[in-house]
Structure 1
Amino acid sequence: MHAESDPDAIDPLIGKMRAAAAPFRRTLQELHRSYAGLFDGAVATYIPELALADPSWFGISVATADGLVFEIGDSGRPFSIQSISKPFVFGMAIQDHGRDQVLRRVGVEPTGEAFNSIVLDEATNRPFNPMVNAGAIATTDLIEGADAGERFKRLLAMFRRFTGRDIHIDNAVFLSERITGHRNRAIAHLMRNFGMVGDRFEESLELYFQQCSILVTCRDLAIMGATLANGGQNPLTGETALEPQYVKDVLSIMLSCGMYDFAGEWAYRTGLPAKSGVSGGIVAVVPGVAGIGVYSPLLDPKGNSVRGIRVCQDLSRKFGLHAFEARFSGPSFHDECHPPRRGT
């Protein structure tokens, strides 16, 4: 486990908290040990920079809604956020424009299609949802700003509030996306033909490429998830990243559409709002409790991290985290992460 600091000398209670949380650390250690040798799947190659990832990279991080962070493996290794950016930009667009205006531009229906499919709902003149590329480009097109630079700064500022630290892009990934993004350009031009995006859609497409190239770590994903679990407030910094009334919009779309064309089975088996990306990250949210971040670049045919799915499924099963699990007699996820309060 990689701990960021050792505050035990400041408050002896912290040391007791760590000791009491040892069972949960062991759970993460066991999960990491169980799946570190799993080499099913393949690293993404359609974006050349992603093909450079080492298949052995594997990190797990869990951040609670009250600010405890547990991590193991390659939890501090940076990678490009890719599609995991989509629900957070969707939340920003709703906060900028309100639900009604955003929903006039992009729907919320699962497609059952691959994330990069050129499929549009011509009956409603919208992309199907903001988690597929067409819907994500339309959502990014809604980000306000006087020019490209201002819009990009606003995006970075939003991700800084979610992660609690300064955020940058990987220029090599950005250029790689730009050079090879012919399919996304075709989607953007087709949407412009139908009036689904505005006149500055080409600028928005560049912004979308930048958005997908933002560098994060497994720990960042866990904190982003914990921020959503905490009603939009970052549990480490106390800063509001998303107004509380819009958190349900983001979590709903993550649950129904967040795992590409595996979303239905994910909701059935794991039952957590989540989003994956083709660089190998997964963020999952246990509302009111915690955020889970997993990074492993080996992907299944649908574009989801193989190890990431296994880790989240195991945590959901072990602790009864499924959104629709009404009764559960096993160990409590919250209690295993937390010690008794002072004086108890």
Structure 2
Amino acid sequence: MSICQDKEAIDVMVEEAKSYTQYGKVADYIPALKVADPDMLSLAIYENDETCVTAGNTEETFTLQSISKVITLALALMDRGEEEVFSRVGMEPTGDPFNSIIKLETHSPSKPLNPMINAGALAVTSMIYGSSIDEKLGRLLTFIHEITGNSSIRYDDTVARSEYETANLNRSLCYYMKQHNVIDDNVEHLLELYTKQCAIEVSCKDLAKIGYVIANEGKHVQSQRPIIPLHIARILKTFMVTCGMYNASGEFAIRVGIPAKSGVSGGIMASVPYGVGIGIYGPALDDKGNSMAGMKLLESLSQRFDLSIF
């Protein structure tokens, strides 16, 4: 059965998963994220060129946060190629927290282990082509507009400023990488771009479309024109499986088995290869930084519709 043919069962799963919001906590280390409603849970599923299932307030917008790491990786790979990108960023998972500096200090060469941790994402963002912050951000937004078909997507300046003003740990990561020639950008310029990238606002429907494009070989949802080259779409899915859910990625692979990426705003984007794109928003987080209810909902969806790739 197609996942979109059982709306009634999905509605039940959403309500059951929503009860888990009480065990989570909205991210408060970024002040602008504290205002989110911890009881919210919404879902959009994109399949066969249309949004076929929605639940909750799918018009509510939220910031991409770490989900943006997948999109910037695609753009950097298209700009620079695999050889250059992976000369500066590794391909290995880590069990350390996403904002940890320890592996930079203990590994030689001192490059980030993968593009989904903060250090790796900052290095990837530094490789996006452009002569200014505005040009680089404009190219990223244009790329997202093309993928989603939604040209109204912008970044939330309040969230970006809040993140920039509290980004001291990310500053430390940048200066350490600059010392070891992983990045050569002006650190403050890079942080401004990175915080604006993380503050790009989307809805669950937008997120489901992005997930769908990555799931389906990088092809545009309507025209089937390639937006992301096939080999890059495969790289993205691989990183999503191995590193996408912070240091809960191994358990997530066993319980859910779907390429996915989360963000501390409470968003989760999932890509079922050659199948569907899923967008979830539930801002109450677990202790790893993943949406508490969103994780439970994806586990239920995977089990009900046999979505695991393993």
**Corresponding residue number in structure 1 for 2:138:** 153
SS in 2 for 1:321: coil
Gaps of 5+ in 1: 1-19, 325-344
| Distance in 1 of aligned mates of 2:56 and 2:222 | 21
Residue-by-residue CA offset, 1:266-294 (whole Å, 9 max, x unaligned): 11111111000000010111010101111
Match of 1:4 in 2: none
TM-score (structure 1 length as normaliser): 0.85
Are 1:42 and 2:25 counterparts? yes
CA radius of gyration, larger in: 1
Equivalent residues in 2 for 1:182-331 (5 A)?
Answer: 182-236=168-222, 238=224, 240-324=226-310
Query: Aligned equivalents of 2:110 and 2:138: distance in 1?
Result: 30
Superposition deviation, residue 125 in structure 1: 2.9
Paired residue secondary structure (2:19): coil
Distance change >3 Å, CA 277–CA 178, structure 1 → 2: same
Matches of 2:239 and 2:172 in 1, distance apart?
A: 25
1:7-86 aligned within 5 A: 23-38=5-20, 39-86=22-69
Deviations 1:18-52 (A, max 9, x none): xx987421122111221223311101000001110
Distance in 2 (CA, whole Å) between partners of 1:148 and 1:187 is 19
Letter in 2 for 1:195: N
TM superposition shift of 1:67? 3.0
Identical columns (%): 39
Q: Distance in 2 between matches of 1:263 and 1:107?
A: 17
For residues 195-241 of structure 1, give each alpha carbon's deviation from its aligned partner in whole angstroms, at most 9, with x where no partner exists: 11013343222111100000011111111101111211231465543
The residue type paired with residue 288 of structure 2 is K
CA distance in 2, matches of 1:323, 1:265: 14
Matched-pair contact (CA < 8 Å) for 1:65–1:230: no
Are the aligned partners of 1:284 and 1:293 in contact in 2 as well (CA < 8 Å)?
Answer: yes
Counterpart-to-counterpart distance in 1, 2:308 and 2:255: 8
Structure 1 pair 148/286, CA: closer, same or farther in 2 (3 Å)? Answer: same
Q: Say whether residues 1:94 and 2:80 are aligned partners.
A: no
Q: Find the aligned partners of 1:44 and 1:67 in 2 and give their Cα distance.
A: 32
- Decide which moves more: 112-121 or 76-85: 112-121
* Alpha-carbon distance in structure 1 between the residues aligned to 2:4 and 2:193: 43
* Aligned match of 1:117: 100
1:28 and 1:234 map into 2 onto residues whose CA distance is 26
Shift in alpha-carbon separation, 1:216–1:237, aligned structure 2, 3 A: farther
Aligned length, in residue pairs: 305
Question: Can you list the C-alpha shifts for 1:83-142, whole angstroms capped at 9, x where unaligned?
Answer: 001011111111111111110010011110111111316313310110000000000000
Residue 11 (structure 1) aligns with:
none
Q: Which amino acid aligns with 1:161?
A: E
Amino acid at match of 1:254: M
1:120-175 C-alpha deviation (Å, 9 max, x unpaired) = 16313310110000000000000001222111110111111222112100111011
> Which of residues 133, 145, 148 is equivalent to 1:163?
148
Per the alignment, residue 327 of structure 1 pairs with none
Q: CA RMSD in A?
A: 1.6
Counterpart residue identity of residue 130, structure 2: G
| Residues 225, 283 of structure 1: 8 Å contact kept | yes
The answer to whether the Cα contact below 8 Å between 1:133 and 1:184 also exists between their aligned partners in 2 is yes
SS of equivalent residue, structure 1 residue 297: coil
Q: Which has the higher contact order (CA 8 A, sep 6+)?
A: 2
Contact (CA 8 Å) 1:58, 1:75: kept in 2 or not?
Answer: no
SS at match of 1:113: coil
Aligned counterparts of 2:65 and 2:198: Cα–Cα separation in 1: 4
> Does the 8 Å contact 2:60/2:203 carry over to 1?
yes
Shift of residue 66, structure 1, vs aligned partner: 3.3
Contact 1:65 1:229 in 2 (8 A): no
Q: How far apart, in 2, do the equivalents of 1:296 and 1:92 lie?
A: 27
Check the 8 A contact 1:63/1:70 in 2, yes or no: yes
| Separation of aligned partners in 2, 1:90 and 1:268 | 25
For residue 45 of structure 2, what is the amino acid of its counterpart?
A: V
Q: 2:49 and 2:36 mapped to 1: Cα distance?
A: 33
